[in-house]
Every structure is written in structure tokens, then in C-alpha cells.
A and B are shown apart, each in its own frame.
Chain A
Amino acid sequence: MLHSLHTCRYWILYALFSFTIIFGVHHEWVNAYIQLIMMFIGINIILSSSLNIINGYMGEFSCGHAGFMAVGAYVTSVLNVWLFASDRVFGPAVLSGNWILLLFPLTLLIGGLAAAFAGLLVAIPSFNTRGDYLAIITLAVNYIVKSSIENIQTIGGARGFMGMRKVVNAMGDVWDIPWMMIFVLIFTGFSVWVIWRFVSSTYGKGIIAIREDEIAAEIMSVNTQQMKITAFMLSSGLAGIAGGLFAHVLGYINPGSFTIMKSTEIMVMVYLGGMGSLSGSVISAVFFTILLELLRPLQVIKWVVIPLMLILLMMFRPEGIMGNREIRDFFPGKRK
């Protein structure tokens, strides 16, 4: 009872926060550029906290998160463009625009499922590999996904895929409020909630046991193989959802958006925030996204400054901003 009350309070706070943002955006208190950054923050929160499941809580090293993001982005985009936009390849819209508000979240989830399936394909061969080997496998998968997309001409190949702008416009035709911001807020909240429930349940404690000692986890009745698959699929599935949102926020995607560079960015956010800290991932996603934008005037030099900051971080605070603590650990009275 007490627990549900607590959760309820967080939900109300988040809903209020979201309404403020949506209201503000609707009345154009902030310009389109700031709005875009706000949406990127949401997407990056999903990406970093979902990668934290594997790299933080499970203590493995997956470095191909952008690959799963790409799967979700393309699946969601193709579905929506096919259903709701007239396109050169996919022909006229299949459904009337009125369906879009209902079906868009569904297509995001389908994109997530597709990414989770891709995650499953990676998890199975990497059963008996740990550490460096899993890193190599995920790295390879990142390349496989990117190269595959580059070679499928129906979805634009290396030129990229567009038409999502029309889909977003179709949402606006139904009711003119900032829909993409709403969906980003909903799915960010949803992802963080799912991950929080997962890692704080007894079931989720299993992945922490795997991180600590896989053999000991197994003799504590943790089905380590199943647990790894679940964690991997959850992580990649959420990355897929983030990819779907990313595609529609930007209105255009190309394989170049999902390179190892993107994966590195996500990893930086995880390590900056602290491995095994969900609030750390959220904070660092906010911080890092804003930092990237502030450093934009530096152009390429940005990629000298940011790695340099990373080196300094590793030297002076290797555990990241939060270590493995959560925000509420700093408020002793609030722990249940």
C-alpha cells in the first residue's frame, strides 16, 4: 500500500511536469530548437538508462546500442510511412490520418519488439562469452545492422529514409498540439518506470547477482541464461523505442546516424552517470545532451573536448556522477 502510494506520488509529479512542458511548448514559450533539444534529452534518457541494464546492472560490456536503435527507428518509420503517408515506394497512405494517434504508440512498440528480437539474436550466441567477447559481438552487430540498411534500397539505402515529417504532420491535422513532445514524455516515463520496476524487483536482483558472481548467482537459483536474455531483450527493445521516437522527431534517418559513434555517446552517458544507477543515467543524459549542444560552436573540436572530459572523469571520479546510488539514497528519511 505504502509502496503504491509512493509510486503514485512520482507519477503525479511526472504528469505535472509533463503538462507544464506540453503547455509551455504549445504556447511557444520556447523556440523550436530548444524543443528539439528537450526531445533529444528524453530520447537520450531512454537510451542511457536502457544500456545501463546491461553495462551497469549486469556488468557486461555491450557497445552496439545504436544498432538496436536503428532497428527500432527503421521498423517504426517504415510502418508509419506505409500506413499514414503517401510515399514514392510505399504508395498512398493505407489508413486515414485519424488512426495515427492510436497506432503511433503501437508502431513504436512494434519497433521496440523488432529491436528486442534483434537483441535476442545477439544474446543467444553470446551466452558463453563475457567481457571483451560480448563487446566484439555487439560491435559487429552494430556494423551488420548499419551495412544491411545501407544495402536495402527500398528503404533508401545509404541515402536515408524520410516521410516521417508527413506522419507527424498528420498527427497535427487531427489535433494541433505538440504530439511528438507528448510521445517522448510518455515513453521516457514509461521506460524509466519499466527499468526501475525491473531492477528493484527480486527478479531483477538476479542481474545484479550475475554481475557480482555468475556462478554464485546460478547456485542461488537464478536462471542466468534466461536472465541474460531477458535483460538483453529489454535493453535493446527500449533502445528500439528510442530509435522510433528519434526518427519521428528528426523526420529523417540515415544509416550514418546509427554508427559506433552514436553507441559511444550512449556509453559515455552511462559511465558519466554511474553504472547501476538509474537516476545517474537520467541526470547524465540531461547533462550530456545539453553539453553537446553548448559545445556545438566548437564543431569538430567538440570531439576533442568531450573525450578529454571523459578522461578527466575517469581519473578523478571513475564511478561516475552517482556511482551506484540513487537520488533517494541522499534523503535518508525517504527510504522505505
Chain B
Amino acid sequence: MLEIKNLYANYGAIEALHGVSLYVDQGEMVALLGANGAGKSTTLMSIMRLPPPEAPLIKQGSIFFNQVNLLNVPPHVVVAEHGIALVPEGRRIFGNLTVFENLTIATYARKDKNQIALDYDAVFDLFPRLNDRKKQRADTLSGGEQQMLAMGRAFMCGASFILLDEPSMGLAPFLMQELFKALKQLNENGVTIFVVEQNANIALKYAHRAYVMETGRIVLEGKSHELVNNPEIRKAYLGA
């Protein structure tokens, strides 16, 4: 479905990626692990090329999604036409708007009214708490609820492929579990998921496969259950 080949990218003079290659197949849930500054977010931002200074400059390599090259495709087209949605780092919900308005804006480019109605139900099924707080201003939500809203919003874009940037950041452990369970649920409903995460413990628990990045390179890849038992991983990321 998504295939990144030999990607080199930099922010100004700083080289962030040195030949990253990875792929995500349809229906998979794949995690991208690594420490701070390893280039995880840069990889994600190369797919969703936001206006500078958010996006890196890509020097070399290719990103194919269903045989379409995504380089130089503006983000709103990536979302609207290719069905890839991003849950950005720091959530970036619309704080002054209500929960429901946040979800409505996500349907901006969609015309399939019936499916939109079903999708609202699906989001509220997945996150009943959003349903309770439908009319509430989004910035009055707790951190976990805001993350749920950001995920629900990505789903409302009509996405079949969701990218997440550090969803567990700043959340209590039990909330992380809840969020990843919801992600798993989404995945089982047919949404392909690619999640960038520092918390290797939780990511490996739920993802099918994972990549590990260090200083702009993929250093390890494999099935989650294999990586969990990998002594290097255990030492570096799982604290055991």
C-alpha cells in the first residue's frame, strides 16, 4: 500500500534521513520506533508534506501509495483523494470549536453523505466519551479526550490509512492502553495504521510489525513478537 524507498531528507542544513526504506501493507498496523531525533516524525512528515517549516526537504528517494508517487502532492489532496489522514504531534485540534464542529470540519472534502453519517456513529461507538462531550469546546477536554478527538477527526476525513505521530505523548499509562485498544479496533475494522511512537512497550504490544530508527536510518525491522524478544531492543527500548 505505502512504500518508501531510499528516502533522504533534510531540514535546512541538517540531514534528518539517510536512505529510509519501509513499507506498510493494506490492513496492517505498523509502528515506527526510535529515540528523540531519530527521524521518525521526519519520515511521517515526508508523506504528508505540510508547508514549511513543518515539512522536510526531500533530496532523494520515493514515496509510493497505491502506485501513485506522493512527492509534490499537497497535503489536502493526500487527505481528500488518497485517503491518508494524519493525527499530528500535539494533536492540533481546533480548541475554540466544539467537539462536533471539529469532526464536521474533517468531512470538508467529502460528498458521500450517507457514509459520513455512518462514520459519525462509528467514531462515537469507538469513543463514547466524545459523544458525551459533543457540544463542549474542544480545549476543555482532557489530554486523553483530545487525543481521541484527533483520532476521530482523522477517521472522519474518510481515511483508509491513518498516520499517527506520537499518540501516547503526555498521557497516563492507562489512557495509552485505551487509545491503542481503540487503534487496534480501527485496524480490525479495516483501517491501515502507521504509528510513530517512542513508547516501544505499548507499540510492540499492539502493532503487527515494527521498524526501529536510529539517527536517520532504519536499524531493525520485524514482527512485533520477534522484536519484543530481541535482546538489543529489550535493553535499549524496553528497559529490561
Report the minimal beta-carbon distance from B151 to chain A, rounded to whole angstroms. 13
B97 touches A212 (CB 8 A): yes
Given contacts A208-B97, A215-B51, contact A220 B108 (CB under 8 A): yes
A213, B77: Cα distance in complex, Å: 18
Q: Is A320 an interface residue (CB 8 A)?
A: no
Within A112-149, which residues are at the interface with B (CB < 8 Å)? 128
A212, B93: Cα distance in complex, Å: 9
0/1 string, A274-287, CB within 8 A of B gives 1: 00000000000000
Q: Contacting A213 at CB < 8 Å: which of B74, B75, B79, B94?
A: B94
Report the minimal beta-carbon distance from A62 to chain B, rounded to whole angstroms. 20
B54 touches A215 (CB 8 A): yes
A223 touches B76 (CB 8 A): yes
What are the residues of chain B within 8 A of A203 when measuring CB–CB?
108
What are the residues of chain A within 8 A of B77 when measuring CB–CB?
223
Q: Is B92 an interface residue (CB 8 A)?
A: yes
A212 touches B94 (CB 8 A): yes
0/1 string, B150-161, CB within 8 A of A gives 1: 000100010000
Q: Contacting A218 at CB < 8 Å: which of B75, B94, B97, B101?
A: B75
0/1 string, B121-141, CB within 8 A of A gives 1: 000000000000000000000
Which single residue of chain A is at the shortest CB-CB distance from B138? A212
Q: Is B106 an interface residue (CB 8 A)?
A: yes
A219 touches B50 (CB 8 A): yes
Report the minimal beta-carbon distance from A104 to chain B, rounded to whole angstroms. 38
What are the residues of chain B within 8 A of A218 when measuring CB–CB?
50-51, 74-76
Q: Is A205 an interface residue (CB 8 A)?
A: yes
Q: Contacting A220 at CB < 8 Å: which of B51, B54, B74, B79?
A: B79
Q: Is A101 an interface residue (CB 8 A)?
A: no
Given contacts A208-B97, A209-B94, contact A215 B50 (CB under 8 A): yes
A222, B79: Cα distance in complex, Å: 9
Report the minimal beta-carbon distance from B78 to chain A, rounded to whole angstroms. 8
A218, B109: Cα distance in complex, Å: 11
Q: Is B104 an interface residue (CB 8 A)?
A: yes
What are the residues of chain B within 8 A of A216 when measuring CB–CB?
88, 92-94
A119, B108: Cα distance in complex, Å: 25
Given contacts A208-B97, A212-B97, contact A222 B76 (CB under 8 A): yes
Count: A-B pairs, CB below 8 Å: 70
What are the residues of chain B within 8 A of A220 when measuring CB–CB?
79, 105-106, 108, 153, 157
A205, B92: Cα distance in complex, Å: 16
What are the residues of chain B within 8 A of A128 when measuring CB–CB?
51
Which single residue of chain A is at the shortest CB-CB distance from B84? A219
Q: Is A206 an interface residue (CB 8 A)?
A: yes
Q: Is B95 an interface residue (CB 8 A)?
A: yes
A222 touches B105 (CB 8 A): yes
With most chain B CB atoms within 10 A of its CB, the pick from A208, A218, A222 is A218
A269, B97: Cα distance in complex, Å: 24
Q: Is B107 an interface residue (CB 8 A)?
A: yes
Q: Is B191 an interface residue (CB 8 A)?
A: no
What are the residues of chain B within 8 A of A208 when measuring CB–CB?
94, 97, 105
Report the minimal beta-carbon distance from B117 to chain A, rounded to whole angstroms. 14
Binding site for A on B (CB under 8 A): 48, 50-51, 54, 74-77, 79-80, 85-86, 88, 92-97, 101, 104-110, 153, 157
- 28 CB contacts below 8 A, A to B, read A202-B107, A203-B108, A205-B101, A205-B104, A208-B97, A212-B94, A212-B95, A212-B96, A212-B97, A215-B54, A215-B88, A216-B93, A216-B94, A218-B51, A218-B74, A219-B48, A219-B50, A219-B75, A219-B79, A219-B86, A221-B76, A221-B106, A221-B108, A221-B109, A222-B105, A222-B109, A223-B77, A224-B76
Closest A-B pairs by Cβ, 8 of them:
A221-B79, A221-B109, A216-B92, A212-B94, A221-B80, A223-B76, A218-B75, A219-B86
Binding site for B on A (CB under 8 A): 128, 202-203, 205-206, 208-209, 212-224
